[in-house]
């Protein structure tokens, strides 16, 4: 059990390694192995759904081991509800993508599946990593296979698209790396500890001006990935030219990296900056919603249309997130799953007719529902899911997001809701142009309907779309601890009673210390109301707990790194970091002395 | 009543089975029978539930069932800064209003299902199953809309019926006009939904709940917003925007006439009896909210009466039998909104019910005619059908008399109630409504006269004596058009492929029985609402529905306890103002506009007179002196053209909103490629260019410097190399020179 996440994580990679030993000529064996591996990958991830305990707000299935001890990087995995769902989405879309490629890929089959499986590991790792450097590693690992998938198995303009995708995302991730390093060194300058531990950063109080810069750095990394207007232009190209499986993975999972990044890192680590940037983010999101929808309306290329609808939908996800209230963020997370399902399915649908006709021009089609009725029915359900028809999944996300946004600002909601109208316009006209009418193109007269394998790729998505629309509770229950966690940081006014019980002040160990103590805010609550010390007491952490106390004791055990750090010139002189303590009360107002803290602040009171 | 959630579920099962299995394996008969069976079961359950509801004391007629959680609780801030709980369960409520609507939907739904088994009999096998799947699905969503006890569940139905309407309008999807019409309906409805969901958001933001009844109770505690435009007015206005979309009011009515592209049973069920009345129903559900926003009520009434008038004028000149009925539907919906707007909620709901009967009847009758004419819909090519299809004629005549407002048919009572209330409230609205009533009687009888009276003007059929249609063409307003088309098989139809056409004929029993059933409804439904002026006990339906329009209401749970303590408190808190509320909602009897009983009867007589005038005018123009109508059309050619073209509203929307959006889309697409992506590519080019420059400089400057060093070394070595001759004598000589030089230097320096 303790290595459960690692098993999920490395199953695809093991499959990829296995494939390396299979002869290139033996294409069917390769296909079988890849499919079986992906299927196993999905099956072993399913227990995560049941084993994950939504009542426990902590990261679960935590695995920790030193990785590069000299710089404090660790192999640190763990999941909360949000990442659980994204992992399940990833493994599910993984098998679907691989299954959908059976007949579509006929060249360099072996390399293709190897890349897909490596990509799978990269994505899973990014969702599991709780160490920032590890996250960055997986983040970059994803890029390379995707680059080759587009560049080798793509369509006409594939090289341009692949390079554009690669460079664009790389630029973003380099800037993001700067942000990570800034955080890393800042943390070191305050606590004297080199660490990439995300759970620690989640409790950090970073000066506002610094938050700004880090937020901007993260913004570039994540916004390009989402993609937000105006950084979206790589997406239509990449989608259009990628092979079907590539598009599916790209839409369903890779784009979620951006939004995942915002929710996992930007919001909880940088709450003040998040608030400060709300106007910008909202503006870009609203532009994205309307702009993406309008541009989609003008498309003549089926896949490009879906790609632009993706831009519009992801902008809605961003908008819900930056409503900064529980309903908006819940909707935002839920909508990410929806987008994965419906847009993934829409790309699969394009892929199926593309495989038959080798064209994506909408005008080449028409009247398809006559010859492919099952296909038309699946397409209809997914269209409705995409435009947010109630009783299907899209509606839940859309409704929550818009309700959340409405509370934040009525004007934003009014604009964002217009995306709903436009969404119906472009999707329905796509549906009409391709499915309805008479068959005028003789090439369409003998198109084959979905076969068993193709239908199998849609079946789970259809089931999910209906399930999530009719009874989203199990999903929303799993999302809620993650949302609470983020909300406790960005909008503490929503902090629930449960977290109030375990406000930071209650844990003497933490409050006894000063400067660094500011990093260790509200300890997570256990079911009994006591703080769970899993994080603090974990074997890798003694440094953090021990070090903060040093300055207070005065000059005795000098901490060279701290003193040497230019950012903190006054360590020896005055114990607390002035700028940190002077800042307005943060969630739970950690600076307020409580009996517990007074107690432990007394000389020798520290344990 | 615990099982009211089964009522929507039954047609859902029917839809699923027909859609998943039936399309492939069911015969036409099985598919139809299965769909009908689910609807009949639903009807049976509805009757049972309704019977139980009637058994309760009037004040306790409300019943909530919560099946499961849907949106679980999530904290969210409210307008006053407090943190509320956002949640919505799958909850259903049966109360008088939803009970009435339930019967209308299941009752008329069942009849139309039966009718469709015959009407769609000539469709391909899979198509029939698909049709019934959609039709069942529609009933499911409509019942969700009706029974939902909170806004999100209502919205499920609200959007879902839109989807089914889309699917059913576009049932003949190979026809471009049909799929266009479906798309138009969906998107226009979405525009309305934009308002509706914003209204729902504002409701939550204001009241912290999405439960319909809780919202009404909370609203009852707020002051009436007379003379100013507060939050309640904003909510009501937004909800009304939604209603204009769904119920085809100005400015979003344009989709409904086009929706006639769908099969006629669809037009009858969705676009006449049930779905389009959803807006009216929704207003009725929110009666307390609306009665606290009098400014919006005025807007509702004005929009309603203007829609009624405008649609009626367009209806005067249409020739497509279904389009006449479509505009008549828009017009009658306008009436209902007028009723809602003047505060006569029960009158509006009553008209909704009677209208459902007679309009479904008229549509099904027109379907029967179209069926008989092998798909022909143009009334100029009909005429004299009375003798071919007596049942259709008789039942349609009942429907027409009902819509025209002739006593004792249903329409008379409901329409009269609306006119009376409008008279009390606002004379201008009343007079517009009366003019509309006149036109209604006129165009409906025009339809009847053109279709059933006079001579036959349609295409000839095998074995027919050609003479009889055209020879008696004295009624024929368009004799030339009629003869011109005689004998040509029409291409407008949807191709009932039943071999050679044997001329107009009466429809089969599966079609005529529903006609009779609806005709009975169109006669007796009105008796529920015989006004107090005639019957001392007063209007039965008004008393029945009243609790649904007022805040005070006791909710009865399955176990007899209220849902929660909070709600109970809300109830108690509501009680005092509820009395005042009731007065406001139930009309204005106690108001200053008291009219005597004699006055009321006088008004009644007047409205009958108006209707008769309309009928007589139609008779004169289309039966006795048809040339007059020709002459009128010529004399007022301009007006006629404007009306025929529906005031050019479609063209106006096309030129503004639609092409505006399209051109914006195209321009943005250009911007996206050239500016946004241009910047990206530009960056790429800049990088490439600078790397090229760097390459050049690397090659020529940096590498040049390196090479220069080498070159220098090489060149200089050339000269130095010459010194290395290898001859001892030369070295000796050089040494000598060197020694001499050093010695010389030493001597000089010293």
Q: What is the pLDDT of residues B94-110, one digit of tens each?
A: 988 999 999 999 999 99
Long-range CB contacts for residues B484-491, cutoff 8 Å, separation at least 24: B485/B381, B485/B458, B485/B459, B486/B457, B486/B458, B486/B459, B486/B460, B487/B459, B487/B460, B488/B459, B489/B374, B489/B459, B490/B374, B490/B375, B490/B376, B490/B378, B490/B381, B490/B459
Q: Which of residues 402-461 of A touch B (CB under 8 A)?
A: 402-404, 406-407, 410, 413-414, 417-418, 420-422, 424-425, 428-429, 432, 435-438
Question: What band does B719 get if pLDDT is binned at 50, 70 and 90?
Answer: confident
Q: Which of B402, B399, B351 is nearest to B608 (CA)?
A: B402
Q: How far is A289 from chain B (nearest CA, A)?
A: 13
Closest-CA residue to A419 (of A339, A323, A312): A312
A293 to chain B: closest CA residue: B665
User: Which own/partner pairs from A580-583 qualify as long-range (CB within 8 Å, at least 24 positions apart)?
Assistant: A580/A190, A580/A205, A580/A207, A580/A515, A580/A518, A581/A514, A581/A518, A583/A205, A583/A207, A583/A208
pLDDT mean over B258-284? 90
Better pLDDT: B666 or B624:
B666
Give the mean model confidence (pLDDT) for residues B454-463.
75
Averaged pLDDT of chain A: 82
**All residues at 6 or more sequence positions from A470 whose CB lies less than 8 Å from its CB, including other chains:** A391, B70
Q: Which chain A residue shows the shortest CA-CA distance from B190?
A: A421
Buried b (16+ CB within 10 A) or exposed e, B562-595: beeeebeebbeebeebbeebbebbbbbeeeeeee
The answer to whether A391 contacts B75, with C-beta atoms less than 8 Å apart, is no
Tell me the per-residue pLDDT of B530-574, one tens digit each, with 9 for 90 and over.
Answer: 877 777 777 788 888 888 887 654 333 333 333 333 333 333 333
State how far residue A296 is from chain B, nearest Cα, in angstroms.
Answer: 8
Residue B432, pLDDT above cutoff 90: yes
Residues of B in contact with A367 (CB under 8 A): 174
**Which residues neighbour B529 within 8 Å (Cβ) at sequence distance 6 or greater?**
B347, B350, B354, B413, B414, B417, B539, B540, B541, B542
Is residue B177's pLDDT more than 80?
yes
> Taking 50 as the threshold, does the pLDDT of residue A607 lie above it?
no
Choose the closest CB to A230 out of B72, B180, B676: B676
Query: What letter would DSSP give residue B672?
Result: I
Q: What are phi and psi of B503, to 5 degrees?
A: 85, 170
| B109 in Cβ contact with B37 (< 8 Å) | no
Determine contact: A390 vs chain B, CB below 8 A. yes
Q: Smallest CA–CA separation between A55 and chain B, in Å? A: 15
Q: What pLDDT is recorded for position B372?
A: 86
For residue A587, the model assigns a pLDDT of 42
Q: Which carries the bigger pLDDT value, residue B590 or residue A224?
A: A224
For testing the chain A interface, which of B22, B25, B66, B76 should be mutated: the one with the most A CBs within 10 Å? B76
Give the chain B residue whose CA is nearest to the CA of A366. B174
State the alpha helices, DSSP H only, in A242-301: 244-249, 255-261, 267-269, 271-297
Contact list, B19 vs chain A (CB under 8 Å): 377
| ipTM for the whole complex | 0.84
Q: Do A406 and B202 touch (CB under 8 A)?
A: yes
Residues in A 476-505 with any Cβ partner in B closer than 8 A: 476-477, 480, 483, 493-494, 496
With vertex at residue B361, the alpha carbon angle to CA B358 and CA B366, rounded to the nearest 5 degrees, is 125
Task: Find the residue in A nearest to B674 (Cα).
Answer: A233
Q: CA B606 to CA B51: how far, in whole Å?
A: 37
- Residues B743 and B750: their CA atoms lie apart, in Å, by 10
Question: Considering only CA atoms, which of B372, B45, B95, B343 is closest in space to residue B211?
Answer: B95
Mean pLDDT of B338-345: 90
Q: Which residue has the higher pLDDT, A98 or B122?
A: A98
Q: How does A265-299 read in b/e, with b if 16+ C-beta sit within 10 Å?
A: bbbbbbbbbbbebbeebbebbbebbbbbbbbbbbb
pLDDT at B644 over 60: yes
| Residue A591 pLDDT > 60 | no
Note whether B160 contacts A390, CB cutoff 8 Å: yes
Please answer yes or no on whether B680 and A168 come within 8 Å at the CB atom.
Answer: yes
Q: Calculate ∠ Cα B37-B43-B49, nearest 5°.
A: 140
pLDDT at A601 > cutoff 60: no
Tell me the pLDDT of chain B averaged across its residues. 83
Residues in chain B within 8 Å Cβ distance of A465: none
What does the pLDDT read at residue A495? 66
| pLDDT for A510 beyond 80 | no
- Residues A71-98 have pLDDT tens digits of 989 999 999 999 999 999 999 999 999 9
Q: How far is CA A65 from CA A3, A73, A536, A543, B709, in A?
A: 11, 9, 15, 15, 54
Query: Can you give the pLDDT at residue B463?
Result: 57
Whole-angstrom CA distances from A409 to A322, A402, B198, B230, B267 are 11, 10, 12, 17, 40
Q: Is the pLDDT of residue A44 over 80?
A: yes
> How far from A546 is each of A76, A202, A506, B700, CA to CA, in Å?
21, 19, 18, 59
Please indicate whether residue B169 or residue B497 has the higher confidence score (pLDDT): B169
Chain B: closest CA distance from residue A495 (Å): 10
> Which residues of chain B are within 8 Å of residue A436 when distances are taken between CB atoms?
170, 173-174, 176, 179
The residue in chain A having the minimum alpha-carbon distance to the alpha carbon of residue B75 is A326
pLDDT tens for each residue of B55-93: 888 777 888 888 888 988 888 888 888 888 888 999 999
Q: What does the alpha-carbon distance between residue B515 and residue B517 come to, in Å, rounded to a whole number? A: 5
pTM (two decimals): 0.83
Q: Within an 8 Å CB–CB cutoff, is residue A462 touching chain B?
A: no
What is the distance between the alpha carbons of residues B477 and B375, in angstroms, rounded to a whole number?
Answer: 21
Which residues sit opposite B240 in a β-bridge?
none
Q: Is the pLDDT at B13 greater than 90, yes or no?
A: yes
Smallest CA–CA separation between B79 and chain A, in Å? 8
Put simply, the answer to whether A377 touches B176 (Cβ < 8 Å) is: no
Contacts of A410 in chain B (CB under 8 A): 198, 202
What region, left, alpha or beta, does residue B343 occupy, with left being phi > 0 and alpha being psi -120 to 50 degrees? Answer: left
Q: Which residue of A has its CA nearest to B156?
A: A390
**Angle at CA of residue A96, ends A92 and A98, nearest 5°:** 120
Give B599→chain A minimum CA distance, Å.
48
**With an 8 Å Cβ cutoff, is A527 touching chain B?**
no
When pLDDT is cut at 50, 70 and 90, the band that residue A420 belongs to is confident
Contacts of B75 in chain A (CB under 8 A): 326-327, 494, 496
pLDDT of residue B656: 86
- Give mean pLDDT, residues A324-346: 94
Is A291 in Cβ contact with B191 (below 8 Å)?
no
- Between B52 and B722, where is the model more confident? B52
Which pLDDT value is given to residue A309?
94
Whether residues B76 and A407 touch (CB distance < 8 A) is answered with yes
Total residues found in chain A within this entry:
607
A299 shares contact with chain B (CB less than 8 Å): yes
């Amino acid at each position: 059990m303790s290595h459960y996440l690692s098993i999920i994580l490395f199953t695809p990679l093991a499959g990829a390694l296995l494939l390396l030993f299979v002869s290139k000529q033996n294409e069917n064996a390769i296909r079988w192995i890849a499919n079986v591996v992906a299927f196993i990958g999905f099956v072993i991830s399913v227990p995560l759904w049941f084993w994950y305990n939504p009542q426990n707000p902590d990261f679960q299935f935590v695995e920790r081991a030193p990785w590069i001890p000299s710089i404090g990087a660790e192999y640190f995995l763990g999941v909360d509800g949000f990442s659980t769902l994204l992992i399940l989405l990833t493994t599910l879309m993984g098998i679907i993508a691989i299954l959908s490629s059976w007949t579509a890929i006929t060249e360099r089959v072996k390399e293709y599946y190897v890349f897909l499986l490596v990509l799978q590991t990269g994505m899973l790792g990014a969702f599991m990593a709780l160490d920032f450097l590890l996250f960055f590693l997986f983040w970059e690992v994803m890029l390379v296979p995707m680059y080759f998938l587009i560049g080798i198995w793509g369509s006409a303009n594939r090289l341009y698209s692949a390079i554009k995708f690669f460079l664009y995302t790389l630029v973003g991730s380099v800037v993001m790396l700067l942000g990570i390093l800034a955080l890393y060194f800042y943390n070191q300058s305050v606590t004297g500890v080199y660490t990439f531990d995300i759970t620690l950063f989640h409790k950090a109080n970073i000066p506002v001006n610094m938050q700004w810069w880090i937020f901007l750095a993260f913004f570039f990394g994540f916004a390009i990935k989402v993609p937000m207007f105006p950084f979206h232009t790589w997406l239509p190209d990449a989608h259009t030219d990628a092979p079907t499986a590539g598009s599916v993975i790209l839409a369903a999972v890779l784009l979620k990296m951006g939004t995942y990044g915002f929710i996992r890192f930007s919001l909880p680590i940088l709450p003040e900056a998040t608030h400060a940037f709300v106007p910008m983010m909202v503006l870009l999101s609203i532009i994205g919603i309307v702009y993406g929808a309008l541009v989609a309306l003008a498309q003549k290329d089926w896949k490009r249309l879906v790609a632009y609808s993706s831009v519009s939908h992801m902008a809605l996800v961003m908008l819900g997130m930056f409503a900064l209230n529980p309903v908006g963020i819940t909707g935002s997370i839920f909508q990410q799953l929806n987008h994965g399902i419906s847009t993934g399915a829409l790309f699969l649908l394009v892929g199926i007719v593309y495989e038959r006709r080798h064209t994506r021009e909408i005008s080449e089609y028409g009247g398809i529902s006559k010859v492919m009725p099952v296909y038309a029915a699946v397409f209809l359900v997914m269209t409705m899911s995409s435009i947010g028809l109630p009783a299907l999944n899209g509606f839940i996300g859309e409704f929550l997001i818009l309700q959340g946004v409405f509370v934040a600002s009525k004007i934003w909601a009014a604009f964002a809701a217009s995306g709903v109208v436009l969404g119906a316009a472009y999707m329905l006209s796509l549906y009409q142009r391709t499915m309805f009418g008479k068959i005028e193109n003789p090439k369409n007269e003998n198109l084959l309907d979905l076969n068993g394998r193709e239908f199998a790729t849609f079946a789970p998505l259809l089931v999910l779309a209906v399930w999530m629309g009719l009874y989203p509770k199990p999903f929303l229950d799993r999302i809620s601890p993650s949302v609470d966690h983020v909300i406790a940081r960005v909008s503490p006014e929503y902090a629930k009673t449960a977290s109030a019980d375990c406000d930071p002040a209650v844990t003497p160990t933490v409050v006894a210390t000063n400067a660094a103590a500011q990093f260790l805010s509200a300890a997570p609550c256990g079911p009994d109301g006591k703080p769970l010390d899993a994080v603090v007491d974990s074997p890798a952490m003694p440094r953090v707990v021990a070090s903060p106390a040093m300055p207070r004791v005065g000059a005795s055990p000098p901490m060279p790194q701290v003193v040497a750090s230019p950012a903190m010139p006054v360590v020896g002189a005055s114990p607390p970091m002035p700028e940190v303590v002077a800042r307005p009360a943060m969630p739970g107002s950690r600076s307020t002395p409580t009996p517990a803290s007074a107690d432990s602040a007394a000389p020798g009171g520290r344990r | 009543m615990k099982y009211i959630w089964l009522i929507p579920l039954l047609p859902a099962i029917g839809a699923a089975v027909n859609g998943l299995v039936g399309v492939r394996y069911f015969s036409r008969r099985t598919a139809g029978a299965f769909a009908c069976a689910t609807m009949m079961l639903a009807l049976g359950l509805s009757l049972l539930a309704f019977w139980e509801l009637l058994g309760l004391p009037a004040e306790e007629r409300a019943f909530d069932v919560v099946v499961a959680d849907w949106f679980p609780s999530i904290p969210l801030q409210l307008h006053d800064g407090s943190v509320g709980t956002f949640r919505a369960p799958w909850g259903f409520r049966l109360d008088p209003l939803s009970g009435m609507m339930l019967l209308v939907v299941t009752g008329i739904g069942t009849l139309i299902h039966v009718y469709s088994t015959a009407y769609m009999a000539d469709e391909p096998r899979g198509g029939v199953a698909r049709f019934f799947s959609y039709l069942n699905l529609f009933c499911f969503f409509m019942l969700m809309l009706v029974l939902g006890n909170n806004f999100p569940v209502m919205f499920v139905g609200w959007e879902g019926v839109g989807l089914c309407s889309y699917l059913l309008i576009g049932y003949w999807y190979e026809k471009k006009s049909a799929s266009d019409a479906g798309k138009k309906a969906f998107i226009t409805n979405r525009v309305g939904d934009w308002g509706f969901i914003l209204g729902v958001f504002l409701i939550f933001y204001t009241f912290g709940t999405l439960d319909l009844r809780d919202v009404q109770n909370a609203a009852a505690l707020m002051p009436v917003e007379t003379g100013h435009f507060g939050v309640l007015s904003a909510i009501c206005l937004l909800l009304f925007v939604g209603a204009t979309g769904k119920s085809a009011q100005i400015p979003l009515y344009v989709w409904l006439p086009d929706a006639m592209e769908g099969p006629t049973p669809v037009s009858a069920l969705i676009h006449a009896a049930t779905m389009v009345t959803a807006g009216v129903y929704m207003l009725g559900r929110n009666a307390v909210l609306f009665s606290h926003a009098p400014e919006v009520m005025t807007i509702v009434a004005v929009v309603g009466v203007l829609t009624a008038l405008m649609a009626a004028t367009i209806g005067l000149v249409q020739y497509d039998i279904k389009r006449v009925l479509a505009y008549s539907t828009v017009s009658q919906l306008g009436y209902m909104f007028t009723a809602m707007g003047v505060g006569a909620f029960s009158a509006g709901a009553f008209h909704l019910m009677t209208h459902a009967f007679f309009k479904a009847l008229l549509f099904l009758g027109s379907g029967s005619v179209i069926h008989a004419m092998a798909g022909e819909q143009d009334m100029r090519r009909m005429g004299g059908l009375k003798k071919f299809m007596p049942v259709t004629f008789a039942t349609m005549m009942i429907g027409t008399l009902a819509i025209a407002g002739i006593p004792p048919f249903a329409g008379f009572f409901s329409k009269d109630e609306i006119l009376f209330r409008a008279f009390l409230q606002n004379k201008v609205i009343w007079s517009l409504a009366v003019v509309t009533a006149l036109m209604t009687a006129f165009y409906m009888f025009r339809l009847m006269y053109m279709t059933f009276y006079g001579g036959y003007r349609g295409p000839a059929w095998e074995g027919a004596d050609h003479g009889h249609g055209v020879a008696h063409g004295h009624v024929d307003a368009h004799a030339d058009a009629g003869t011109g088309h005689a004998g040509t098989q029409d291409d407008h139809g949807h191709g009932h492929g039943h071999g050679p056409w044997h001329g107009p004929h009466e429809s089969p029993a599966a079609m005529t029985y529903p006609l009779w059933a609806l005709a009975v409804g169109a006669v007796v439904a009105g008796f529920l609402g015989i006004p107090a002026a005639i019957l001392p006990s007063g209007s039965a339906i008004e008393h029945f529905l009243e609790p649904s329009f007022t805040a005070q209401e006791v909710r009865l749970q399955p176990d007899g306890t209220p849902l929660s303590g909070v709600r109970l408190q809300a109830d108690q808190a509501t009680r005092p103002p509820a009395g005042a509320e009731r007065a406001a909602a139930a009309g204005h009897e106690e108001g200053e506009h008291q009219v005597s009983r004699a006055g009321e009867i006088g008004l009644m007589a007047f409205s009958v007179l108006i209707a008769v005038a309309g009928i007589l005018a139609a008779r004169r123009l289309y039966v006795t002196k048809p040339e007059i109508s020709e002459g009128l059309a010529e004399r007022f050619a301009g007006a006629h053209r404007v009306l025929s073209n529906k005031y050019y509203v479609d063209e106006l929307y096309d030129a503004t909103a639609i092409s505006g959006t399209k051109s914006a889309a195209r321009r943005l697409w250009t911007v996206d490629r050239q500016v946004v992506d241009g910047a990206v590519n530009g960056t790429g080019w800049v990088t490439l260019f600078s790397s090229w420059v760097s390459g050049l400089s690397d090659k020529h400057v940096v590498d040049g410097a390196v090479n220069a060093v080498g070159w220098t070394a090489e060149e200089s070595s050339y000269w130095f190399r010459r010194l290395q001759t290898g001859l001892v004598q030369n070295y000796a000589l050089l040494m000598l020179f060197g020694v001499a030089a050093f010695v010389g230097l030493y001597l000089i320096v010293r």
